[in-house]
């Protein structure tokens, strides 16, 4: 069954003289290159020299995740695994641990994630982890993932994901009223 009209029928017809010497096609290609070169000189390049220059983003941009702390600075994540189950790219892995009495000031719930990792090369920034989290612990932010030169560096652990106590990350601009009310 034909699904679209985009397919082209390939023909084995003899090439014309112009096609055989390739020159018309070469000049046509050079013309297109020249047209873009002139436009870039006149109007400036349409590209951004990332990462030195970043394209402006909206506040609802879905970028690098943050694992939130509560108002007392304790990690919200309880290592329930719902975000990992919801993730269509299977980018999230974690190891759960039990909180001790001495750790009550560090972790909000009795169970916490001793290891929490997101593979940023797998992530498609869909936001399903954020939707699935019952503890309002994970959010996507308007930050871009850093440029790295090796694949291993794209696996972000808690050192990069958990927000710093003194450098909280405001995600309220990305939240709906329903979500804001759910954060307790």
Known binding positions: 77, 80, 83, 87, 123, 126, 129, 133
Minimum CB–partner distance for residue 59 and ligand SF4 (Å): 17
Return the structure tokens found at 53: 């220059």
92 binds ligand SF4, rule: CB under 6 A: yes
Would you call 77 exposed, middle or buried from its count of C-beta atoms within 10 A (0-12, 13-18, 19+)? buried
155 binds ligand SF4, rule: CB under 6 A: no
Cβ(90)–Cβ(76) under 8 Å?
A: no
73 binds ligand SF4, rule: CB under 6 A: no
Residue 157, number of CB atoms within 10 A of its CB:
11
Q: Which residues contact 108 (CB under 8 A, 6 or more apart)?
A: 70, 72, 74, 75, 76, 78, 135
Minimum CB–partner distance for residue 113 and ligand SF4 (Å): 6
Contact residue for ligand SF4 among 66, 107, 108, 138 (CB under 6 A): 138
Question: What residue numbers does the annotated binding site for [4Fe-4S] cluster cover?
Answer: 77, 80, 83, 87, 123, 126, 129, 133
Please give the Cα distance from 83 to 157 (Å, whole number).
15
Please give the Cα distance from 48 to 55 (Å, whole number).
7
Please give the Cα distance from 25 to 110 (Å, whole number).
70
Contact residue for ligand SF4 among 73, 99, 121, 126 (CB under 6 A): 126
Give whichever of 19 and 124 is closer to ligand SF4, judged by the CB atom: 124
Contact residue for ligand SF4 among 64, 66, 74, 137 (CB under 6 A): 137
Minimum CB–partner distance for residue 95 and ligand SF4 (Å): 11
Cβ(96)–Cβ(113) under 8 Å?
A: yes
Contacts with ligand SF4, residue ranges (CB under 6 A): 77-83, 86-89, 91-92, 94, 118, 123-129, 132-133, 135, 137-138, 140
């Amino acid at each position: 069954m034909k699904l679209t009209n985009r397919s082209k029928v390939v023909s084995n017809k003899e090439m014309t003289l112009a096609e055989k010497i390739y020159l018309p096609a070469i000049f046509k290609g050079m013309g297109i290159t020249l047209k873009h070169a002139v436009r870039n000189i006149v109007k400036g390049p349409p590209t951004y020299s990332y990462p030195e220059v970043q394209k402006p983003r909206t506040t609802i941009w879905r970028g690098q995740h943050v694992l939130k702390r509560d108002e007392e600075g304790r990690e919200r994540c309880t290592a329930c695994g719902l975000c990992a189950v919801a993730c269509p790219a299977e980018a999230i892995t974690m190891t759960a641990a039990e909180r001790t009495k001495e750790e009550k000031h560090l972790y909000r719930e009795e169970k916490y994630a001793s290891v929490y990792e997101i593979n940023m090369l797998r992530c498609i920034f869909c936001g399903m982890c954020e939707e699935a989290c019952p503890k309002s612990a994970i959010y996507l932010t308007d930050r871009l993932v850093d440029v790295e030169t090796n694949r291993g560096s794209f696996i972000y652990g808690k050192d990069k994901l958990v927000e710093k106590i003194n450098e909280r990350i405001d995600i309220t601009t990305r939240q709906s009223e329903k979500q804001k009310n759910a954060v307790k």
